[in-house]
Every structure is written in C-alpha cells, then in structure tokens.
Amino acid sequence: MNDVIPAPRAVEGPMRCGVELDAETTLWAAPGTDTTERWLRATLGAALGLPLRPGPQDARNAVRLLLDDTLEPEAYKLSVVVNRGVEIRGGGAAGVFWGAQTLRQLLGPDAFRRAPVRPGRAYAIAHQIIEDAPRFPWRGLLLDVSRHFMPKDGVLRHLDLMAAHKLNVFHFHLTDDQGWRVQIKRYPKLTEVGSWRARTKFGHRASPLWEEKPHGGFYTQDDIREIVAYAAERHISVVPEIDIPGHSQAAIAAYPELGNTDVIDTTSLTVWDTWGISKNVLAPTDNTLRFYEGVFEELLELFPADAGPFTRFSPFPGFSGFVHIGGDECAKDQWKQSPTAQARIRELGLADEDELQSWFVRHFDNWLSVRGRRLIGWDEILEGGLAEGAAVSSWRGYQGGVTAARAGHDVVMCPEQQVYLDHRQAAGPDEPVPIGYVRTLEDVYRFEPVPPELTEAEARHVLGTQANVWTEVMEDPARVDYQTFPRLAAFAEVAWSALPAPAERDFADFERRMAAHYGRLDALGVAYRPPTGPLPWQRRPGVLGRPIEGAPPNV
C-alpha cells in the first residue's frame, strides 16, 4: 500500500514487480530540471550511496527528469515501470522537484539520511504511476526567529523539512520586541543593540522563571542571501517580515528617536525580555517613515522578487515579491498621549489612532507597490482600506480572510485557533509549557482553509494556508521540533492534497501512513512528539503555560 504524505491525487498500482536503484542506475535530466538533478545527486544519492551518473535517456535502469507543459506548474507524474526505470514529469521545475520528494518517500527511511547505512544495497520500488498536483499554490510555514533566535544552519534544516513535505512558502519572522535578526548596513545598531536581550522569560509571561543570560543573534546579509538561494533551489519562496508599527521595541532600543519621545524616555528602553504586547510602538513621524524606507530598500535587495517559484502565481504582474509588514497588535496608548501623534491625526484629517495606523500601513503599501512588490500583513491591516495588490494573513480567525476575499484581496489562511503550532498538542499534565487550545494531530488534519461562507469567486482569493510557529516558549531547536512535528505533516496534507470535507477525512488512513512517516522523521533527526505523549526529556514540569480549555471557536 502507498504511504506517501501528503497523499497524492491518483495512484495506479503498486504492483509486486518493480525497479531497483543501484550503483548502475543513471540520471538523465532535461533542460530546466537542473535543481532536481542537483538535489537527487547531493541528497538522495548521498543518502543511499548511489552515484546517479549521467546516462542516456533510454537506459533501462535510469531516473529521467522531464518537463511537460500539459501539466500544471507544480504538478507531476511519477512513473516506476519495469524495464523502463523511473520517470518524473513536471509541469514546471517545481513539479519535477515535488515528484522527486515522492520518489524519496517510496525508497524508505534510508533515503532520509545524510550518508548510507547499507552501502552497496539495491533499493526496490514497486511498479506504479502517481499523478499529483497541489490544491493551493501557497503552502506556508512561519518560523519566528525573533523571540528565540535560530542560527542559520537550523533555518536551512527547516527549509529541507519543508521541502520534504511539499511546502513552498517560508514566512521569515525577522523582527519583534524581543530581537532584530537581519543586518541592515545603514543602521548598524539594529543588530549591535537590537539583536541581544539581557535575559529571557522562561515559560509564559506570567511565569516567575527567568533564564539569566543574554540571548540573541542575527543573520548577516550574506547569511540571508544564502538562505534565499538555498530555499530557491528547493522551490521555496521566502517572505520576510519586518513588523511595524507595533512589535518594534528592539528597533526603538537601538534607535530611540523611532519611539514616542514626547511620551516616554525612549533612551531608557532595552530589547524586551518578556512576552506579550509591548506598548512601545513606532512614532508616526516622517523620520520613522524614512528610516524604515531605508530598511526596506536593503531588504528588497536581499529578497529579490524573482527568487523562488511563487512569482508565477501572482495575478498582478510586477507584484511578485511579497514583503510582510506585520501590522498587528499595535498598542495605541502612547499615540493617544503623544502631541506629535495627535497633531499628525489632525494634519491628515483622520478620525482616530486606528486610522493613523492605517495611514502608516498604507504608506508602505504604496511604497512597495511602486517598487513592484506586494505588501502582505496580518488581518488588522484591513482596517482603513488597502491598495489593490495587498494581501492579508488571516490570523485572528477566519473572519479576516472572509473580509479580505470579499473586498477582492488575496488571503492566506492561518487562523490562530487552528494552525498555531505553539498551541498544546494534548490536555495531559506532561505537555510541556501548555499554551492555548488543544490542537491534536487529528485536529490539524481536519482543518479546512477555505471558509464555507465564501462564494466560488471569493474563494479564488484564498491563495492557500500557512502554519505558524511562534517561539516564545520554545527555548531551543528540540522544542521547535516537538511543537512542529508531527502536526506539520498533517498540515502539509491539508495544504497539498484534494481532501474531502473535514468530517469525511480518513484520519485512520493518515495514521497508517504516519506509521511509516515517523521512520522518515527519525532518519532526519526530528525530535517530534511521539503518538504516546512526550518523552521524559521533552517535558517541562513546573514551567507555567497558558492553557485555554474547551474547543477553539471558528470565528
């Protein structure tokens, strides 16, 4: 039986006969399939000890890569045929690559290692034909590296894990109150000061526990270029996020003039060491606008619009490069007290501080649009109106996505109550630092990204869906693994596969396939949550969380 995750659209077979990959297997790659050709030799070949030497297209024992313009761009057809070898046809280079990911799964857990554990072995694949294509073009994962910094090698590892699950958009949350993680050369203090905090709250913000040592780090511009190039080789687009005008205390600590200096002494601020929503937000001044224009100018060079596969899905030519500006949870207390902010409200003829935030967001909406980029932000940016090309990440529930789609804006569905992977995975007392609602593997598997109240035309604005990994209570990579897996495998199937309605989904079959997938995750070294519950070293006894009882609302 087939145990591929995400589940493919159609499988013919498998049959008992098949094909063996061994030291004599050759690799033939048509023009335009070079990313998969490199990946097969560097990753699959290295794992199994197969050289995959170049060979003729018609060799019986060959892996062949071809483009087929009758297929959708990310669709593929994988044929394993006796005496004909393996053939992967893709509608585009990305489709060929996703077909190679399926081939890897068919080869078993050994194919997920970095070096061969059974050198000289031939690997058999049953005769079968798999035809597949994704449901959504945007299949995303957000990784928060601001709250707890993840060094570059960890980011590259997560890109590999995304590729293994056919996820193709990496939302890179680079700035927040607790740390600024990207080098901006014209503003060196952003990383000299803003990337380090003196200590860190351990557990939920109500916890009395602290880790009394500095925490931080940042990515140099060359690190970012490497991450973007590495992602593009795996047909993953990287969407950077610079959070404005809230969640900006780290930037204000580095450059106090960015804050509301007529309300508080911003020179006394430090990078925030706890969690929650800081009231220290950016001042709505021309100086702040010019400063962040300078930040975004460097950012656009680091994240070019033509990097990654997602550009082809843009309905707006010239708006292919998404930039996320946050726009969420901006506390208005200081603006209400600030003579400068109140003067700006009067000058612009605005009604209140909410409209002031909308003005701030629209400034960068227009600024990015002029430069051929597309702004995307959390659903709060809907308040006040957006430019034509702007898109929305619907996080507070489904309603933001419904409002955006009905207004003609593209939307990515990532409702907190359903796909925030920092939320706990079980109700038991051993669950480490329990946050939010219980979201089991089955709960995530039954998540439906498209709100049922949308018409067919409105639903076309749902670009796809995204799982978000917020790291406030994830102090090291093992904790990130635990919260993310295995639920990300269920999410990947929701994002890729043409599943029935949530109640009709065959979770028993998914669990059966997961039994094989756990072996792949083991080979990859993923410290996932076991189906039986956390292992002793995965628990965090006595560390306060914030559990919410009951079923999450569909709001």
Q: Which residues are catalytic?
A: 176, 247, 329
- The DSSP code sequence of 335-352 is HHH-HHHHHHHHHHT-SS
**CA distances from residue 109 to 89, 116, 123, 302, 432 in whole angstroms, order as listed:** 24, 11, 11, 36, 28
Q: How crowded is the C-beta side of 223, counted as CA atoms within 13 Å?
A: 16
CA distances for 318 relative to 2, 235, 311, 369, 464, angstroms: 41, 20, 9, 8, 20
From CA 526, how far away is CA 539, in angstroms rounded? Answer: 16
Q: Are 216 and 281 in contact (CB under 8 A)?
A: no
Whether residue 6 is preceded by a cis peptide bond, meaning omega within 30 degrees of 0, is yes
Strands (E) across 494-533 are located at: none
Question: For residue 218, which of 254, 200, 191, 249 has the smallest C-alpha distance?
Answer: 191
Burial of 317 (0-12, 13-18, 19+ CB in 10 A): exposed
**DSSP type of residue 44:** I
Task: For the chain, count helices (H), then strands (E).
Answer: 18, 25
92: closest CA among 76, 80, 81, 115? 76
Q: Where are the beta strands (DSSP E) in 46-119?
A: 53-54, 62-67, 76-81, 85-90
3-state secondary structure of 326: strand
Q: Are 301 and 193 in contact (CB under 8 A)?
A: no
Helix axes 507-524, 152-164, angle to 10 degrees: 140
Q: Between helices 221-233 and 286-302, what is the axis angle to 10°?
A: 50
Q: Which residue has the tokens 């511009």?
A: 221
**Strand partners for 28:** 64
Tokens read off for 110: 């050994």
Give the strand pairing for 76-81 and 85-90.
Answer: antiparallel
For residues 172 and 416, what is the distance between their CA atoms, to the nearest angstrom?
A: 17
Closest CA to 6 of 154, 168, 244, 117: 168
Place of tokens 């070079």: 34
What are the Cα distances from residue 454, in Å, to 139, 405, 458, 540?
A: 20, 8, 6, 42
What size, in residues, is the chain?
555
| Nearest to 389, CA basis, from 374, 400, 407 | 374
